[in-house]
Amino acid sequence: MAKKRALITGITGQDGAYLAKLLLDKGYEVFGAARRASEMNVSKLQDVGAYEGIEYVSLELQEITNIFRAIEKIRPDEIYNLAAQSFVGASFEMPLFTSDVTALGPLRILEAIRQIDRSIKFYQASSSEMYGKVQAVPQNENTPFYPRSPYAVAKLYGHWITVNYRESYDIFACSGILFNHESPLRGLEFVTRKITHSAVRIKEGLQKELCLGNLDAKRDWGYAAEYVEAMWRMLQAPAPADYVVATGQTHSVRDFVDAAFAHLGMELSWSGSGTEEVGTDKASGKVIVRVDPKFFRPSEVDMLLGDNTKARTELNWSPATTFTELVGLMIEHDKKVLAHNGI
């Protein structure tokens, strides 16, 4: 039997690397789409051992012509659209760019599928950020959305256009509403990796303080390597649908900081409040965590907590890695990186 062909956009990102590895292991022919750069960032793909097995294609989500060309040429069975301007904080500074890539990007791909071959299955990387100012706790597939950032508004468009093309043109299109998922491959701009990377450096005396924004924000954090399995399962289901993918547990940013330093054998005491809050290392009496208002967002998502019942029952998917294990594996990775690179 011919190998299945999958096209993954956002191949250089965290999820792109884990999904590529998963599909290669399942015997797929994997085509990785990356936007043109003077030097493609392949470190995540190398980390998971997927770099060699992929056929690369240059693809910019803002440019419809190269999307048509890539799909015409590859004729994939499945397309996973993971590419996006994915950093919420940056979306307040680049709302137009974010909208073009993150909202209209999926539309361009869907339109290419509609015109080239409607049997191509499509996965859209939707986000729990769409729940924003949450209208119910926990959030499931029926919870109304209330986006709180240009990123979330753009993702909401991507979600609904996916639903619309499914309903209008009978395309097998699924929207995966994924809650935050992290890993050692997470970009340093996201709070979890910023914390683990800095905690290791502070422990080693290479950095004095970790400056953060809102410590009270709560997220449902899972392990990215497990979440890509849910993406694949959605496209193997008997019928296309939308699914929440989450752990069902929520923790604050402060909890994450505590867990990271605890893994390194350090205990913090917290004092002050709001923008004056600091975390002090109990053993040395030194302030090592400080709130800096520059990391606050113009409008915040205070709390996310997902209800994964549908994914559990219909996809037989469930998360395995606990919050403490996730923090631990990220810290252990950053310790190795530091030992290897010395920075």
- Binding range to ligand GDD, per CB under 6 A, among 188-196, 231-239, 265-273, 328-336: 188-196
In a 10 Å sphere around its CB, with 0-12 CB exposed, 13-18 middle and 19+ buried, how is residue 88 labelled? buried
Task: Indicate which single residue of 5, 7, 8, 12 sits in contact with ligand NAP (rule: CB under 6 A).
Answer: 12
- Rounded distance, CA 67 to CA 61, Å? 7
> Beta strand 218-219 with 251-252: parallel, antiparallel or unpaired?
antiparallel
Footprint of ligand GDD on 281-310 (CB under 6 A): 295, 297, 300-301, 304
Q: Which is it for the CA torsion 252, 253, 258, 262, positive or negative? A: positive
Kindly tell me which of 202 and 246 has the beta carbon lying closer to ligand NAP.
246
Kindly tell me which of 10 and 279 has the beta carbon lying closer to ligand NAP.
10
- Rounded distance, CA 108 to CA 158, Å? 10
Beta carbon of residue 121, minimum distance to ligand NAP (angstroms, whole number): 17
Beta carbon of residue 308, minimum distance to ligand GDD (angstroms, whole number): 14
Task: Indicate which single residue of 139, 143, 180, 308 sits in contact with ligand NAP (rule: CB under 6 A).
Answer: 180
Task: Indicate which single residue of 181, 197, 218, 233 sits in contact with ligand NAP (rule: CB under 6 A).
Answer: 181
Footprint of ligand NAP on 266-305 (CB under 6 A): none
Kindly tell me which of 10 and 138 has the beta carbon lying closer to ligand NAP.
10
- According to the binding rule CB under 6 A, does residue 343 interact with ligand NAP? no
Beta carbon of residue 215, minimum distance to ligand GDD (angstroms, whole number): 7
- According to the binding rule CB under 6 A, does residue 12 interact with ligand GDD? no
Which among 244, 7, 2, 31 is positioned nearest to 121, based on CA atoms? 7
Element (H, E) at 30: strand 29-34
Beta carbon of residue 38, minimum distance to ligand NAP (angstroms, whole number): 11
Beta carbon of residue 33, minimum distance to ligand NAP (angstroms, whole number): 7
- According to the binding rule CB under 6 A, does residue 1 interact with ligand NAP? no
* Six token digits for residue 136: 């119910």
Footprint of ligand GDD on 189-208 (CB under 6 A): 189-192, 194
- According to the binding rule CB under 6 A, does residue 213 interact with ligand GDD? yes
Kindly tell me which of 11 and 202 has the beta carbon lying closer to ligand NAP.
11
φ, ψ of residue 262 in degrees (nearest 5): -60, -40
Angle formed at CA 236 by CA 70 and CA 52, multiple of 5 degrees: 50
Angle formed at CA 153 by CA 148 and CA 156, multiple of 5 degrees: 120
Whether 22 contacts 231, CB under 8 Å: no
Footprint of ligand GDD on 225-254 (CB under 6 A): 253
Helix axes 150-169, 104-116, angle to 10 degrees: 20
Helix axes 104-116, 64-74, angle to 10 degrees: 40
Task: Indicate which single residue of 14, 91, 250, 321 sits in contact with ligand NAP (rule: CB under 6 A).
Answer: 14
Task: Indicate which single residue of 49, 187, 272, 274 sits in contact with ligand NAP (rule: CB under 6 A).
Answer: 187
Q: Which does 251 bind (CB under 5 to 8 A by kind): ligand NAP, ligand GDD, none?
A: none
- According to the binding rule CB under 6 A, does residue 99 interact with ligand NAP? no
Whether 122 contacts 77, CB under 8 Å: no
Omega before 76 within 30 of 0, i.e. cis = no
Residue type, 120: I
Whether 102 contacts 84, CB under 8 Å: yes
- According to the binding rule CB under 6 A, does residue 79 interact with ligand NAP? no
- According to the binding rule CB under 6 A, does residue 217 interact with ligand GDD? yes
Whether 186 contacts 224, CB under 8 Å: yes
Residues forming contacts to ligand GDD in the complex (CB under 6 A) are: 86, 88-89, 127-129, 179-180, 189-192, 194, 212-214, 217, 219, 253, 295, 297, 300-301, 304
